[in-house]
Chains A and B, each alone.
Chain A
Amino acid sequence: MAERPEDLNLPNAVITRIIKEALPDGVNISKEARSAISRAASVFVLYATSCANNFAMKGKRKTLNAGDVLSAMEEMEFQRFVAPLKESLEVYRREQKGKKEARKDKDKKADSEEQDKSREEENDDDDERMDEEEQNDEEEVDN
């Protein structure tokens, strides 16, 4: 996983683009300010993860889920993010579902509402299985 300290950095070009979107046109962002914001973003990820993990632990779950991250935002006093995040998540879920269905339609060309429902359930299972597999991989590496 994170073998070198650079692995915990976020790509500078992307960070710069995101900063520019938030500022009026023509504002100069010093190099030091960029790297400071980039570091702050990495710390934010860790802080959010740790808060979210506390919520997962309280719920006796091993896997962090969307609700944990949203609760973490509230706890960190970033309530203002919650509504836009929920909106994005809706779009993201729809997109992911569309992709998976497109993939399955390639394999099978059958279509009915009932199958749609069963697919949704299958998708959820898939996600969990993926996470478990990853965990196993890591354990192997660690040993």
Chain B
Amino acid sequence: MAARLSGGENRLVSLPLSRIRVIMKSSPEVSSINQDALFLTAKATELFVQYLAAYSYKHGKGKEKNALTYSDLSHTAEECETFQFLADILPKKILASKYLKMLEKEKQDGDVGEGDEEDEEEEDEDEAVADVGS
């Protein structure tokens, strides 16, 4: 609330434009952004946050407990096409025990020749799961 009172610019958009600009400029191909485009991106991000939260709550299981949970979000990323671009950063969480069982099954099912390639993929997945916990 304090932010709203202090500056006129903060009334229309609550996210800091300076930070949005930093994120936009972190993309190497972008050379410059005019003020309207910056404002619109900030505003669009707010709408996006609200849409993602509302959609995930409406279609998620946390609703039963009056809560919005991580799995509601990862479920949205997996199920809703519009939110598919989030699938990589919102991976579905699985139990370590389940994961180990999956690995075992893969080993049993997999052919002998593909050993190296599979190992690499497994490592990637491992990292993704670890990231979520942090």
Contact = CB atoms under 8 A, between A and B. Distances in A.
Task: Decide if A and B are genuine partners.
Answer: yes
A17 B35 contact: no
Interface residues of B, number: 57
A131 B35 CA distance: 9
B49 A41 contact: yes
Interface stretch (B85-93, B109-117, B121-129): B85-93
A109 to B, nearest CB: 22
A74 to B, nearest CB: 12
Query: Chain B binding site: helix, strand, loop or mixed by DSSP?
Result: helix
Q: Which of B8, B13, B14, B51 has the most CB of A within 10 A?
A: B14
B50 A21 contact: yes
Contacts of A70: 40
B86 A30 contact: no
A73 to B, nearest CB: 6
B82 interface: yes
A22 B33 contact: no
A95 to B, nearest CB: 7
B34 interface: yes
B53 A66 contact: no
A49 B45 CA distance: 11
Interface of B: 8-9, 12-16, 19-20, 22-27, 29-37, 39-41, 43-54, 57, 62, 65-70, 72-74, 81-82, 85-86, 89-90, 132
